[in-house]
Amino acid sequence: MIKPRNPKTDGELNEANMRIKLEALGYRVSRYVYPPGTYFPAHTHEVDKIDGVLSGQFRMSMHGDSLVLTAGDMLAVPRGVEHSAEVIGNEAVVSLDAIKF
């Protein structure tokens, strides 16, 4: 997981501030909304990416471990690493998907 949010340096938790943080790290950012029941089976990417959650609960599994990301959490997924993801609960996940070539 990316270092935890620090409200003093990261500002209020909102889309603009999370986007600024990810872009400052050199990532291109897209916003997605995943409805309840969304599941992404094990897959890989050809780019380094970070999944950042603005709202909802997103279970990410990688390296045999699983964790639930909630508002303000970010997880780095290196290129070529197999991982899966699913929306947990009845609330949609609003996510910032950041990629770096």
For residue 15, the one-letter residue type is E
> 91 — phi, psi (to 5°)?
-105, 140
Identify whether 1 is part of a domain. no
- The pLDDT of residue 7 is 84
Identify whether 2 is part of a domain. no
Identify whether 17 is part of a domain. yes
Question: For residue 38, what is the domain's CATH number?
Answer: 2.60.120.10
Whole-number mean pLDDT of the chain?
95
Identify whether 67 is part of a domain. yes
- The pLDDT of residue 2 is 78
Do the bridges between strand 83-88 and strand 57-62 make them parallel or antiparallel, or are there none, so unpaired? antiparallel
DSSP code for 47: S
Average pLDDT over residues 46-62: 97
Identify whether 73 is part of a domain. yes
Domain extent at residue 70? 7-100
Partner residues linked to 61 by β-bridges: 66, 84
DSSP code for 2: P
**Cβ atoms within 10 Å of 54's Cβ, excluding its own:** 19
Tokens of 61: 């599994």
Task: Express each pLDDT in 76-96 by its tens digit.
Answer: 999 999 999 999 999 999 999
Domains: count for the chain:
1
Of residues 38 and 11, more confidently modeled: 38
- The pLDDT of residue 101 is 78
Residue 66 confidence class, pLDDT cut points 50, 70, 90: very high
> 18 — phi, psi (to 5°)?
-65, -40
